[in-house]
Chain A
Amino acid sequence: MIKKAFLILLVAFTGYVFFVAASARPFGSPRVVVSKRYLEKGLNETGSQNIVTSVVVLYRGFDTLGEVTVLFLAATALAALISGFPFERKERTEPSLVMSTASRYLFPLILLFGAYIFVHGHLTPGGGFPGGVVIASGFLLMFLAFRKYRVSEGGLIVTEGLAGFFYVLIGLIGLYLLGSFLASFLPPGRLHTLLSGGIIPLIYILIGFKVGSEMTGILRSLKGEDENG
């Protein structure tokens, strides 16, 4: 009891120190030295009207490559760790008729919505990552609605690997044509149209496929399956 009270006091004191340190620069006054350059030149240099997208893909593209690598590592390690786990089916009834009928109609619409989010990453908020996650939640709906729904493991592995491979290939093409890794070798294009923004649509389509197949692979590994589905 004493130990718990001491811990609460210690964490509260640490939180208060952080709060005082953060209030030294009060809310609403960021230091915008780097961001001012991105905001001023971003629209004309990159051609995409979403500045956050151009920061993620073009100005800080190497960090996004690092994130894609970490995701790949986590999904592979998870699949390797869970393999061989004995599967026993715990639910006793089939999901209801409303669920199975509605899911059959909703699933292509959810996939279409996810694809819309990552194709229009440079025009509307969103981008590759939430688009891939929406696709994975469509597959989660199908896993919950049908007991025998299967996704082929080989298809997921091939999609994930090829998407990552083409990401690095685009970076190397930028290195060959323009002299720096992940440079934008496509023209900026006309503003506010779909074919603008250099390599941003290509990279976000690849990231959308990669994140979607990875999250679906994670859900499939955790669900487990036996010979009946």
Chain B
Amino acid sequence: MAENIIFYGSSIALAAIGLLIALTRRNLIKIIIGLDLMETGVNMFLISIGYRRGGTAPIFDIPLSKAVDPVPQALVLTAIVIGVAVTALALTFAVRIHEKYGTLDISKLREMKW
């Protein structure tokens, strides 16, 4: 039970704090930081699902009954790299918005009509 709380609990808590940053903050770059933390938390949750009790890494000559699950690791490898590319694209949107409107506050941006 303690293992559940440590691994599942900290990854879900990281994703929850990222979601809270994206919901309660008004600066656009702070919102993007919150989305980045949410992606990191979800990736960690996926890998902690695939762990096997007493297992080792699926590399070199392994006895088959003792390896952790390799499929979530392959999927999370993909997800991390895509996450950084999408974060970079979101940040260039923020740069362009700041250049055109002079502010990054989403409550002020919402009031501007065209």
Which A residues form the contact surface with B (CB < 8 A)?
Answer: 4, 7-8, 11-12, 14-15, 18-19, 22-23, 26-30, 32, 34-36, 38-40, 43, 49-52, 55-56, 60, 63-64, 67, 70-71, 74-75, 77-78, 81-82, 85-86, 124-125, 127, 129, 133, 211, 214, 218, 221-222
Contacts and interface: CB of A to CB of B under 8 A. Distances in A.
Contact of B78 (A22, A23, A64): A64
B51 A30 contact: yes
Interface residues of B, number: 51
Nearest to B79: A67
Interface of B: 1, 3-4, 7-9, 12-13, 15-16, 19-20, 23-24, 45, 48-53, 57-62, 64, 67-71, 73-75, 77-78, 80-82, 85-86, 88-89, 91-93, 95-96, 99
B54 to A, nearest CB: 8
Given A15-B13, A67-B81, A81-B93, A56 B51 contact: no
A55 B50 CA distance: 15
Nearest to B96: A81
Contact of B64 (A14, A23, A40, A55): A40
Contact of B3 (A28, A38, A64, A222): A28
Nearest to A50: B59
